[in-house]
Amino acid sequence: MTVKRTVLIVLLQLGLSLASAVAGFCQAAPFAPPGAEIDQKVTAALDNLYAHDEEAKALGAKAKAVLVFPEIRKAAFLIGAQFGFGALRSGSRTLGYYRTGAASYGFQAGVKQFGYALFFMTDSALEYLDKSGGFAIGTGPSVVVVDKGAARSLTTTSLRADVYAFVFDQMGLMAGIGIEGSKITKITPSS
């Protein structure tokens, strides 16, 4: 057996193993945790975000509501999937629970965990979330992903988008984070 053939077989076996792991990862996604668990993680994530990002805190004070996904898990080997659970908050009150999920393909491999918060600035954006039956980031209301450079230039007079997104707590062995194309669906958490 040639070295090239041996390497190809090993890579194929590795690819099949990782694809199987990604498939198992995706199957675990639909089971929502209890509402109290989601609330606890959302509170901790939002408190941490506000403590470390003054712009997010200022935006939170002006937002109609904030949808927080404290733990998004992503796994990929050519085909990837990500999912997580969160809550929509107005002040300290939970308005509803949501699941986010996305699939991707292309050259990618690894596992990553991160969180994100969507700051809804307009009533029409909140209505769209409520009435659409599944909000996909990149369709519907305008969403601006705020990075460190953009955050410094946000002022009360420059707020023009319907929704602002902050990505936080990135950990793992995969480069890049993408939330565009993520589908957000209202759920009823387990009891």
pLDDT tens for each residue of 106-157: 655 566 678 889 999 999 999 988 887 667 666 656 667 776 544 444 444 4
If 0-12 CB within 10 Å is exposed, 13-18 middle and 19+ buried, where does residue 22 land?
buried
The structure's pTM equals: 0.73
pLDDT tens-digit readout, 34-58 = 999 999 999 999 999 999 999 899 9
**What phi and psi, each to the nearest 5 degrees, are found at residue 64?**
-70, -40
Q: Which tokens go with 68?
A: 């927080």
Q: Which tokens go with 187?
A: 């759920």
Q: Which residue, among 36, 85, 92, has the nearest Cα to 66 in the 3D structure?
A: 92
DSSP secondary structure string, 46-107? HHHHHHH-HHHHHHHHH-SEEEEEEEEEEEEEEEEEEEEEEEEEETTEEEEEEEEEEEEEEE
Q: Do 49 and 117 touch, CB atoms closer than 8 A?
A: yes
